[in-house]
Amino acid sequence: MKKSNPNLFKIKEINAPLGSVSLYTNTKKDLLYAKASGYINLGLVKKDLSFVQSFDTTHPWTYLVDTSKVKSAHPLNPFYLAQLKNNKFLKTFIVFMPSAFVRLMNQLYKNVNRIDLILKTEKELNKFLNEYYLNEN
């Protein structure tokens, strides 16, 4: 994601001792983009979910999580992320998983945590984000 793109802006930063989640949205608020980094522990996931549940309750939106900078994650995180299904305004849950190992591990949890689309390359991520940018104009 280019930092200079005016169509996405940071709305929240959630920090933990070893990790963080930066949350961005677009002007239409139909996209919530989370860039996770470092170690994603249960506390960080709980804070992120709390924000996600209150993000926008006026219209459907997409939640996109970028895991490219995640070093490790707590093994119970997928069980907590399963709560995303309870958000009636969440239209689509997308995860950018460039790591083949992370995608393999995700297969273990696919029945617990429903992901609508997995983006595997930065090219796919940029194409997806550009589609949102184009919709802004």
Domains of the chain: 9-136 (3.30.750.24)
Highest mean pLDDT among 2-16, 48-62, 106-120: 48-62
Q: Encode pLDDT of 56-111 as tens digits.
A: 889 999 999 999 999 999 888 888 888 988 899 999 999 999 998 888 888 888 88
Please state the three-class secondary structure of the chain as a single string.
Answer: CCCCCCCCEEEEEEECCCEEEEEEECCCCCEEEEEEEEEECHHHHHHHHHHHHCCCCCCCEEEEEEEEEEEEECCCHHHHHHHHHHCCCEEEEEEECCCHHHHHHHHHHCCCCCCCEEECCHHHHHHHHHHHHHHHC
Q: Encode pLDDT of 8-35 as tens digits.
A: 899 999 999 999 999 999 989 999 999 9
Model confidence band, residue 117 (pLDDT cutoffs 50, 70, 90): very high
What is residue 61's predicted lDDT score, i.e. its pLDDT? 96
What is residue 70's predicted lDDT score, i.e. its pLDDT? 95
